[in-house]
Structure 1
């Protein structure tokens, strides 16, 4: 819960590119290095070091991150997002949520994706909305900035 809250906070505060970079770091931290996401002091230290690389003097300190991790800010939003995932039938990853309501398993065959996108083409337009943006309290302007930019991807 603490790491989910932290990623949400970073996205709201510093943008999705920063939260995605930290999310990637936490995946390595947990899955590759075998560290616990429940060790809040170590989590604060690791994230603080990474944020300093990304944000320089704008980065929150290790102490500020630990204070955040030991609090409850963002808990309600994460719990609501988890409830929404359950209502959509998402119980594991990877999953794709298309158009805000269609869930496609990440292991689905390519013909499933082709069919879904052909249906979208036939409809002409999709009311695409980031269903978790409102739930998590991510401001619309942050969502509009996105997290992956062509120039960043080329680097």
Structure 2
């Protein structure tokens, strides 16, 4: 089975200033969000993020990671997907998850972001296709793709989606991203049994991602 994931941008902290490299640590953010240390501890116990991470092969989450405005990183993921395909943007997305959640770096540290992204793209793309660090940094310092990001955020608001993670499968089935893997396996097995999908993604027009890009799979599964 082959499928594509189209990442939809979402801002946990939409009021963070775009020009600041980072605002606060994630620990500070969450303690404030949940009304103090006791509320935060209750949320940690309820979500069991550490345990779920261990199950997924993630040994450590950096609680003091540097939080920031994420517009630049969202723009980058969308740009790479459109230009090089969703398999490439997904590889960069995976890299940035480690970069942020494990290594604790700010997603708005544009020179560092450009460096690690280019190092991966040098491995993924032919030498004559891979962008230079300067090209990526210039993109991050610009505004290309921002309008599409804002349109997607407005569309999410209209759909009533006020938290992440969420997956919209076949353009209609909404699954909480924190669901256990069995939930996704059951949905994919049903599609496999049916032999077709009901419909495609619902955000590609908003983000201006071509049908051709979406139809090239970002992931392939085998039994």
Matches of 2:160 and 2:74 in 1, distance apart? Answer: 20
Q: Does 1:137 align with 2:208?
A: yes
Structure 2 gap ranges (5+): 1-70
Q: Is the 8 A contact 1:30 1:36 kept in 2?
A: yes
* 1:42 to 2:115 alignment: no
CA distance in 2, matches of 1:18, 1:25: 11
Match of 1:23 among 93, 108, 124: 93
**2:169, 2:201 within 8 Å by CA — same for their partners in 1?**
no
Matches within 5 A, 1:1-155: 1-57=71-127, 58-107=129-178, 127-150=198-221
- 2:148 counterpart SS class: helix
Q: Deviations over 1:70-116 (max 9, x none)?
A: 11100011111111112222222221223424433234589x98xx9
TM-score by length of 2: 0.58
Deviation >3 Å, runs of 4+: 106-110
Instruction: Find the structure with the greater CA-based Rg.
Output: 2
Q: 1:126 to 1:38 in 2, by over 3 A?
A: same
Alpha-carbon distance in structure 2 between the residues aligned to 1:78 and 1:20: 17
Aligned length, in residue pairs: 151
Structure 1: gaps spanning 5 or more residues = none
* Cα pair distance change 1:60/1:107, threshold 3 Å: closer
Structure 1 window deviating more from structure 2 (74-83 vs 91-100): it is 91-100
Please state which structure has a larger fraction of its residues in helix: 1
TM-score, normalization: structure 1? 0.81
